[in-house]
Amino acid sequence: MSFELSEDHEQFRRTVRDFAEKEIAPHAAQWDRDHHFPVDVVRKMGSLGLFGLTAPEQYGGADGDFTSLCVAIEEIGRVDQSLGITLEAGVGLGINPILTFGTDEQKDTWLPDLVEGQKLAGFGLTEPGAGSDAGATKTKAELVDGEWVINGSKQFITNSGSEMTSLVTVTARTGEREDGRAEISTIIVPSGTEGFTAEKAYDKLGWHASDTHPLSFSDARVPESHLLGERGRGFAQFLATLDDGRVAIAALAVGCIQACLDLSLQYAGERTTFGVPIGRKQGVAFQIADLEVMLAASRQLTYQAAWMKDAGKPAKEFKHAAAIAKLYATESAVTATRIATQVFGGYGFMEEYAVARFYRDAKVLEIGEGTSEVQRMLIARGLGLPVE
């Protein structure tokens, strides 16, 4: 069975690649050095329609397929992983929860600006003691006189504190179930809400040009109508959101591997030792061949999973494919950056070369939207193993 992209997808790829090479690539290194979130370029991505690819036309979207979004994330990530994750999180963690679980009023209120890419939304899940163990959430929301009163904190939240951020959706304990477990719900908290603070941006190893903050809530009040989806279903909503996100992160990893291959090929043809290009040396050529293998396998797994999403395959099958794609592509991306840096030798250790930036950016791919350990657990469970 072939998962070759259609000509429409390939034409779209060329459009996004042209935009990325003209509008992003020349500035990516400087943004990285300055830890600068380029609002103007993110809005240009919105004007190109990238944030609205999968949204319905009634909210200003293209009503397109998930595969197109993966193509866009790959091509943006090929030149700058920071803006690749900005797009991935803007759609997967910002737009999708509201689109999937929101009321008509919530969709009408929030989606048009998000779909247009003029505003961004964050997804407040992770806490100091509750990341992969989302059931350990400590943030609480109490219903008082028709308002949710929220107290707690979140960490590592993308697109949560920029001048473009219009809201964050927050998971919180809203009660207790009959079996004694916490009732987890999701609540929309607009930016500027009194008691809600996006703290100082993190000083990160990589993704310097993306917007990431810890969040705090101190008696932050929002109307009862800001409950997103059914009360007590926040954990299930989070899991459904992450299935799509894992494939999108895999697409970001594919862009990283492609960049490593492109950069290594160019350098191996230009750099000479002992009078010949280093690409003629088996030690270098074989490493670059390994990059091609990892790229081909990662791309196939990623777009197979995207195709399953678009084809409406059973959720259990898609979840399994998403975990496989995310695990393989992200771990391959980390390896690819190590190989590319080795090909460049001493120059690979210098920040003036893009491979150094990709090296720093890649590691978090194995962590965000479900660690590699979580993916292995999901894959094992999909095989029928009772993994705890």
> What is the count of structural domains for the chain?
3
Look at residue 387 and tell me if it is in a domain: no
pLDDT below 50 — which residues of the chain?
none
Look at residue 42 and tell me if it is in a domain: yes
Q: Are residues 177 and 59 in the same domain?
A: no
Rounded to an integer, what distance in angstroms lies between the CA atom of residue 158 and that of residue 86? 8
The b-or-e profile of 190-222 (16+ CB within 10 A means b, else e) is bbebeebbbeebbeeebbbbbbbbbbbbeebbb
Q: Are residues 222 and 247 in the same domain?
A: no
- Choosing from 203, 232, 261, the residue where a domain stops is 232
Q: Is 369 a catalytic residue?
A: yes
Locus of tokens 């004694």: 180
Q: Are residues 210 and 246 in the same domain?
A: no
Structure pTM?
A: 0.96
The active-site residue out of 7, 183, 369, 373 is 369
Q: What is the pLDDT of residue 235?
A: 82
CATH of the domain at 173: 2.40.110.10
Residue type, position 283, single letter: G
Look at residue 331 and tell me if it is in a domain: yes
Q: Are residues 366 and 294 in the same domain?
A: yes
Look at residue 307 and tell me if it is in a domain: yes
Locus of tokens 């109508």: 225
Look at residue 1 and tell me if it is in a domain: no
Q: Are residues 188 and 317 in the same domain?
A: no
CATH of the domain at 311: 1.20.140.10
Q: What is the pLDDT of residue 132?
A: 66
Is 221:376 a contact under the CB 8 Å cutoff?
A: no
- Choosing from 194, 210, 232, the residue where a domain stops is 232
- Choosing from 120, 155, 171, the residue where a domain stops is 120
Nearby residues of 93 by Cβ (< 8 Å), 6 or more positions away: 121, 122, 123, 158, 159, 241, 245
Q: What is the pLDDT of residue 2?
A: 60
Q: What is the pLDDT of residue 84?
A: 98
DSSP string, 92-134: IIIIHHHHHH--HHHHHHHHHHHHHTSSEEEEE--BTTBSS-G
Which tens digits make up the pLDDT trace of 378-387?
999 999 999 8
